[in-house]
Amino acid sequence: MFFHLLVAIPLVLSQSAGGKDCVCELQNSDPAFPENKLDQIGFTASQCSINITSKKMTEIDRLALGLHHRILQLLDNVSMLEKEDNGNLYAAVSLRIIEIELAEVQDLLDKLNRTTHSYQQLSKHAGAELRGMEKTMMELEKLDHTQVMVKQRENQRIRRDLERCKNVLNSTLAPPTISPGHCGLGRLVNVSEPKTFSLTVYGTSYVFGAWGRDTNPAPGDENKHWLVVLSASNVFGNFIRQYSSLSTITLGIFPTDTYISSANPTTNTIQGPNMVMYGNALYYNCYNTHSVCQFNMTAKSVATVSLPSDTGFNSKFPFGHLGAAYGYTDMDFASDESGVYVIYATTSNFGNVMISKVETSIPPVLGQNWTTSLHKRTITNTFMVCGVLYATRYLDKEMEEIFYSYDTKTNEERYDLRIHIKKVEANIKSINYDHRDRLLYVFSDAYIVRYGTMFENVYQM
């Protein structure tokens, strides 16, 4: 990033070395030199360089990066709307969503504006563009939805505005740096075809759930597989099903069920499809709160820890895509060789993803936190490998894409991964990574699927 401090005041700088003193003399060529103005600029400049610590730079970078990608995505959204040739309600609803999105982008710009003077120029330009876009959006919304879709001209204008906006942001962004990962695997570079998949014993009506293996198993439990299907309203679960092996879970035979409660839902039962099993305990979003639940499979007891009070829950910041939000997916859990993480979004981070380490003590406590620029509602899921968070998005009903990564060691984030996941069903509801077999355990609309992974330094999938 570059900072230009332009002081547009005509002045002459002369230096006279008389005797022992070195004197710097400021002379102005204009009659009424605004001395106090210069003082002020000098003061501001010094304040500015004090204020812009590397931490702040990172924050600005992060915000600008997020903004950049949100705008790119909006561009996608607009062209998506353009492609829809006949009007329907969906289009009108989409417009409204984009409008909300624009308001959030404006919030981000305001934050950027407040963060430092150096971005004011940028924010001013981008802000003007956005206000123009918002106005256009409102005009569009007033039209009925059939007309909306044939209004090519407005769409073209928005596209042009977005393009300009994008370029303004582009010009100041440093390219994202490559994060190597920290287990000697290197970066994730590809994902295999679906390896094994099968319909769960619950059948096709239960499309939200999760499965996997305990990623820190007790001796003797190494091969156990667990499965949780949200059996009430596709939102709530109250028990964990375990199988002794991959074959038994694939065939759906000889399960063992462990109940958190006989009621569903009730205090501390499971809400939402994202969870992990670690050290013989299940970690998940507790029913109707912004808390993390830890269910001890042996003691059958629950311990909890609260996330910040402005954490979204009950579908405030869910996963999703243009076509759908996945209900009650506000919280995601990931585990890798370094432990358990919770992925969520807060109002103070504008609905963007936060990562917190969950220390697996009893009760669990929150460890380190990371703030990202990744907007939670635009992604479909996350998982963690070697301390690097990966996020997916919906491309179409055949393909999902791993497009984003955040390295918790270096705080580097990148949005340019293009790793495709071939789906067996249209929606991915949960993804868990097991560092022992380096497989992804995916729950895709009632189907349980595994995928191999390929890293820079490990090619076998």
Choice from 248, 267, 280, 288 touching ligand NAG (CB under 6 A): 280
Which residues, in sequence order, are CB contacts of 187 under 8 Å at separation 6+? 178, 179, 180, 181, 405, 455, 456
Choice from 109, 227, 270, 292 touching ligand NAG (CB under 6 A): 109
Count of other CB atoms within 10 angstroms of residue 426: 15
Strand partners, 74: none
Choice from 62, 64, 71, 77 touching ligand NAG (CB under 6 A): 77
At its nearest, how many Å lie between ligand NAG and the CB of residue 294?
Answer: 7
Contact letters (x/-) for ligand NAG, 187-226, by CB under 6 A? ---xxxx---------------------------------
Choice from 1, 9, 35, 47 touching ligand NAG (CB under 6 A): 47
Cβ distance 377 to 390 under 8 Å? no
Cβ distance 342 to 355 under 8 Å? yes
At its nearest, how many Å lie between ligand NAG and the CB of residue 206?
Answer: 25
123 belongs to the binding site for ligand NAG (CB under 6 A): yes
At its nearest, how many Å lie between ligand NAG and the CB of residue 112?
Answer: 8
Count of other CB atoms within 10 angstroms of residue 306: 12
Site for ligand NAG in 407-426 (CB under 6 A): 422
DSSP, res 118: G
Cβ distance 415 to 402 under 8 Å? no
> Does an H or E element contain 155, and which?
helix 152-170
Q: Is 328 left (phi over 0), alpha (psi -120 to 50) or beta?
A: left
Of 22-30, 120-128, 154-162, 401-409, the window that binds ligand NAG (rule: CB under 6 A) is: 120-128
Contact letters (x/-) for ligand NAG, 309-338, by CB under 6 A? ------------xx----------------
Site for ligand NAG in 353-392 (CB under 6 A): 356, 362, 366-369, 377-378
Nearer to ligand NAG, 77 or 231 (CB): 77
Choice from 39, 76, 107, 396 touching ligand NAG (CB under 6 A): 76
Q: Please state, in angstroms and rounded to a whole number, the distance separating the CA atoms of residues 297 and 295.
A: 6
Q: Please state, in angstroms and rounded to a whole number, the distance separating the CA atoms of residues 413 and 416.
A: 9
At its nearest, how many Å lie between ligand NAG and the CB of residue 158?
Answer: 13
Nearer to ligand NAG, 241 or 290 (CB): 290
Nearer to ligand NAG, 201 or 366 (CB): 366
Residue nearest to ligand NAG (CB): 127
DSSP, res 182: S
Cβ distance 448 to 249 under 8 Å? yes
Q: Which of 320, 347, 342, 346 is nearest to 331 (CA)?
A: 342
Structure tokens at 97: 């969503």
Q: Please state, in angstroms and rounded to a whole number, the distance separating the CA atoms of residues 305 and 356.
A: 12
Choice from 38, 41, 48, 424 touching ligand NAG (CB under 6 A): 48
Cβ distance 68 to 373 under 8 Å? no
Residues in touch with ligand NAG (CB under 6 A)? 44, 47-48, 51, 73, 76-77, 97-98, 101, 109-110, 113, 117, 120, 123-124, 127, 167, 170, 190-193, 279-281, 296, 298-299, 308, 321-322, 356, 362, 366-369, 377-378, 393, 422
